[in-house]
Structure formats: structure tokens, C-alpha cells
Amino acid sequence: MKTDDEVPETELDYDEILRRGGANLGDEDFALLKCPSCPRIYLMEYEVDTLYMNPDDLAERIPVSSYPRSFNCTACGARFPETEAWLGPKAPKEMKVTWHQLAQSSWRWVTRLTRG
Ligand SMILES: [Zn+2]
């Protein structure tokens, strides 16, 4: 593992996310993504396409299931891609979250490794 590697989805600590009130509508699938224009990181639940805005309050979330998508970063205001993937191999590389970026963010609790 290198600090500039992408954080694999499998590293996310579901028990901790759910303990903090992160349950959505069931069958949760979580992944991290980053604003393509600034360092702001978001947690996404992609079974029901929901973005979690605040690492300290998982109740702060918004649906992003409409298509084309319309979401502007809450930190810098940049428009997220409307029709491109946000997650997975087809997502823009600027939207991937590295171990280093995660460790620097308030989302660091989301993996055992970065929680320390
Ligand atoms: Zn941004």
C-alpha cells in the first residue's frame, strides 16, 4: 500500500459507519469519492445513490439518484460530472481518494488504517 494509492472500497469499516448512524435504506454499498476540483471528500452510498456531506454527522446526506446528476461541491461550488461515473474504473481520476488524502481529512475514521 502506497499513500498515493486509491483507498479500496473493501477497506471501509461498515460497522463503524452504521454505528455512527450511516444506515440508508438497506443493502448499503459505501465508497469514497472526492470533488474533482478541490480536496473535499464525500462518502457515497451507491445502492440508493446518496451522498453523505459531513463526517461528523451522517444524517446530513442528499439523494443524487437523478440523471443527469446535478450536484455542486459544498466546499468549492464546482459542478460534479453530470453524466460520467463518479465511482469505479470509469470515474475521473481526480475523483478518486488516496490513502494520503483520506488520512488528511475528517473522514479518516472510516477505515481502521487511517483511524489510527
Ligand atoms: Zn470542491
pLDDT tens per residue, range 50-104: 999 999 999 999 999 999 999 999 999 999 999 999 999 999 999 999 999 999 9
How many A from CA of 92 to the centre of ligand 1?
A: 14
The per-residue pLDDT for 116 is 83
How many A from CA of 41 to the centre of ligand 1?
A: 8
The per-residue pLDDT for 74 is 96
Burial class (CB in 10 A: 0-12, 13-18, 19+), 72: exposed
How many A from CA of 100 to the centre of ligand 1?
A: 17
Q: Which three cell numbers stand for residue 6?
A: 486509491
The per-residue pLDDT for 107 is 98
How many A from CA of 73 to the centre of ligand 1?
A: 5
The per-residue pLDDT for 1 is 67
Task: State what percent of residues in the chain have pLDDT above 70.
Answer: 99
Domain positions in the chain are: 9-115
- Residue pair 78/18 in contact by the 8 Å Cβ criterion: no
Give the pTM.
0.95
